[in-house]
Amino acid sequence: MTDYIKVQKTARVAIEGANNPDLKSVWLIAHGYGQLATYFINKFEKLFSEENLFIVPEGLHRYYLNGFSGKIGASWMTAEEREKDIEDYCNYLDAVYEKYITRLDKKVIVNAFGFSQGGATICRWAAHTKNKIDNLIVWGSVIPPDMDLEKKIQKLKTLNWFYVAGDKDEFLSDKRRLEQLEELKKSGITPNSIHYNGTHDISEEPLLLLNKNVLKKL
């Protein structure tokens, strides 16, 4: 017999910026596999300003990257009890949103951003949440193949999608990237595509371009 219980867990959230009169956009960011929020947030340093607020929740599963000691990373889920993990992190991201974003001016643009494993995470959350999202950004990742796009399509089509990938991304081939864009197109979603010269990382030039594009609604 297998049973389940709900427990409380303390989660870490890295934040850069504040709610102020000049705030234009807030970024809710899901990091990649094996990363930590306190380090990952620094990849957005070029965008740190009075106009941007960055919120990076850390995945609830920490582990040693090599063996039993040393460098530590975090992840959002594994194949074990995956449905429960998905439910947990969707509720977790909702709780983060409600604590830090709900109180902001309604004119502030909300960017939901996911990198690598966090790309699938942010897609599932976007389909799940009832909270306002303006831009959905998937960087170096795939749309979860198990996500029921058809069931959630009316909501997902209201979002302004961005699909960002490097031409030398070792985890996302150019063929796979084009297949992803085609799958979205078949569902009635045409993302803004940013294809840059780079690897599986957050690069400065496409990040600056992305920032300029997400603010176009202002």
Q: Mind listing the pLDDT tens digit for each residue in 132-145?
A: 999 999 999 998 88
Residue 146 has pLDDT above 90, yes or no: no
Q: Do residues 120 and 32 make contact, with C-beta atoms less than 8 angstroms apart? A: no
Q: Of 211, 209, 201, nearest to 49 (Cα)? A: 211
Q: Do residues 109 and 133 make contact, with C-beta atoms less than 8 angstroms apart? A: no
Residue 126 has pLDDT above 70, yes or no: yes
Exposure class string for 160-171: b at 16+ Cβ within 10 A, else e: bbbbbbbeebeb
Residue 216 has pLDDT above 90, yes or no: no
For the chain, what is the mean pLDDT?
A: 94
Confidence band, pLDDT 50/70/90 cuts, at residue 169? very high
Neighbours of 190 (CB within 10 A): 12
Residue 217 has pLDDT above 70, yes or no: no
Q: Of 100, 97, 136, 95, nearest to 115 (Cα)? A: 136
Q: What's residue 174's pLDDT? A: 93
Residue 19 has pLDDT above 90, yes or no: yes
CA-to-CA dists, residue 191 to 22, 58, 68, 123, 209, angstroms: 28, 26, 41, 13, 15
CA atoms of 173 and 194, how far apart (whole Å) = 15
Residue 150 has pLDDT above 90, yes or no: no
Neighbours of 181 (CB within 10 A): 19
Q: What's residue 93's pLDDT? A: 98
CA atoms of 16 and 27, how far apart (whole Å) = 10
